[in-house]
Amino acid sequence: MPESPFSRRNMLFGAAGVSAAAFLTSCTSNDDSDDEGGSEQQQANVSDDKPGKPVTIGFAGPEADHGWLNAINDNARSRAEKYEDVTLDITEGSNDTATQIGQVDSLINKKVDVLVILPADGKAMTQAGLKAMRAGIPVVNLDRIFNSPQAYRCWIGGDNYGMGLNAGRFIGEQLKGKSNAKVVELAGLDNLELTQQRTKGFDDALKNYPNIEKVARQAAEFTVESGQRKMSDLLQAVPEFDAIWNHDDDQGVGVKRAIDQSGRDEFIMVGGAGSKAVMDSIKADDSVIKATVLYPPTMAASAIDLARALGQQKGVSGMAEFEIPASITLYSAVVSKDNIDQYLPTGFN
């Protein structure tokens, strides 16, 4: 089902547009104080590293009970510390929607300048976003999207469909010459929409490779323990296959353990999200793990940038716009041995 990320992708500025804008800004000064002349009158007032108007950013995230979410919090914190003019007001994360609504309420009452919200459940948190916007506090919606565009000023997040698509393409290219290739999929939590989107993207990509058949799919729970359990079952269920896509690198620790325990290595594995452990494996190239599809936790740092720009009423550098965009979908890059060095620093524990 074409969900919001689709429409969002359509709204995205193209790469060409970005580079053109980057060229434009490179000719101009970012500082609004030194006006250089008529030709740059239209240039946006963009945010940069220089201290500006002080901004208090309220941050409400879910409970950081595993690697990726933990990395989200770390990224937000360290980015905020980078700016002298930013004060970050973080509430304790919760996976309970009612609790999280209460936390957003308390941030609204504190009258923070901008809110960054990563909802435990996007749809359920829509009302909280609306309330903040009505109170005059612009909301940066991080990752799990609200139901209504009225509930946020800007959305930034990952591309779950794109993750599946790129994982499928990578595997497809690897198995191109092989007839009757078999692929299996170890998904995350099936009751999360993001899991369905990742699977949809994966299936769509595989449609381009008629020689490949997906022979099995099981869902784990994003934990090491469930990854180990479900992978053991999958290995027993399918005596021989050529590739596996594991949706999540956190459960991937358990998945890799199950593979090691079985002693099998006739297939290649592609991970998801981009943990440090998986990136190390890709670099070492000593196991079945050959690639991982990014779902970068650095989006939290970008969300802080956007929130700061919002608070200072500036645009984003590298773009010609006066305002920050309404939505930004990140790219789910495939990290393999070829480009591992570039991405290794973004791996999370």
d(CA 252, CA 231): 9
Q: At its nearest, how many Å lie between another protein and the CB of residue 253?
A: 5
Task: State the sign of the Cα–Cα–Cα–Cα dihedral 300, 21, 313, 85.
Answer: positive
Count of residues in contact with another protein, rule CB under 8 A: 41
Q: At its nearest, how many Å lie between another protein and the CB of residue 63?
A: 8
Q: What backbone phi and psi angles, to 5 degrees, belong to 93?
A: -65, 155
Query: Considering the rule CB under 8 A, would residue 164 count as an interface residue with another protein?
Result: no
Q: At its nearest, how many Å lie between another protein and the CB of residue 292?
A: 15
Q: Specify whether the CB–CB gap between 251 and 187 falls below 8 A.
A: no
Stretch that binds another protein, among 105-113, 124-132, 214-222, 292-300 (CB under 8 A): 214-222
d(CA 80, CA 72): 12
Strands (E), the chain: 55-60, 86-90, 114-117, 139-142, 154-157, 181-187, 212-219, 243-246, 268-273, 289-294, 327-329, 334-336
Stretch that binds another protein, among 34-42, 101-109, 232-240, 265-273 (CB under 8 A): 232-240
Query: Considering the rule CB under 8 A, would residue 216 count as an interface residue with another protein?
Result: yes
Q: At its nearest, how many Å lie between another protein and the CB of residue 348?
A: 9
Q: Based on CB atoms, which residue is closest to another protein, 90 or 130?
A: 90
Q: Based on CB atoms, which residue is closest to another protein, 24 or 192?
A: 192
Q: Which residues contact residue 173 at a Cβ distance below 8 angstroms, ignoring those fewer than 6 apart? A: none
Query: Considering the rule CB under 8 A, would residue 67 count as an interface residue with another protein?
Result: yes
Alpha-carbon distance values, 19 to 26, 40, 90 (Å): 10, 17, 34
Q: At its nearest, how many Å lie between another protein and the CB of residue 66?
A: 6
Q: At its nearest, how many Å lie between another protein and the CB of residue 92?
A: 11
Q: At its nearest, how many Å lie between another protein and the CB of residue 239?
A: 7
Stretch that binds another protein, among 21-29, 48-56, 218-226, 305-313 (CB under 8 A): 218-226
Q: At its nearest, how many Å lie between another protein and the CB of residue 222?
A: 8
Footprint on residues 107-136 left by another protein (CB under 8 A): none
Query: Considering the rule CB under 8 A, would residue 237 count as an interface residue with another protein?
Result: yes
Q: At its nearest, how many Å lie between another protein and the CB of residue 317?
A: 32
Strand order across the 154-157 sheet? 86-90, 55-60, 114-117, 139-142, 154-157, 327-329
DSSP 60: E
Alpha-carbon distance values, 235 to 8, 112, 118, 172, 183 (Å): 37, 51, 35, 21, 12
Please tell me whether residue 89 adopts helix, strand or coil conformation: strand
Q: Specify whether the CB–CB gap between 242 and 214 falls below 8 A.
A: no
Stretch that binds another protein, among 114-122, 216-224, 284-292, 337-345 (CB under 8 A): 216-224
Among 229, 247, 290, 314, binds another protein (CB under 8 A): 229
Structure tokens that stand for 171 in this block: 């595997």
Footprint on residues 242-301 left by another protein (CB under 8 A): 250, 253-254, 257, 260-263, 277
d(CA 185, CA 204): 14
Q: Based on CB atoms, which residue is closest to another protein, 68 or 170?
A: 68
Query: Considering the rule CB under 8 A, would residue 190 count as an interface residue with another protein?
Result: yes
Strands 154-157 and 55-60, bridge-based pairing:
unpaired
Binding positions for another protein, rule: CB under 8 A: 63-67, 69-70, 73, 190-191, 215-219, 221-230, 232-234, 236-237, 239, 250, 253-254, 257, 260-263, 277, 349
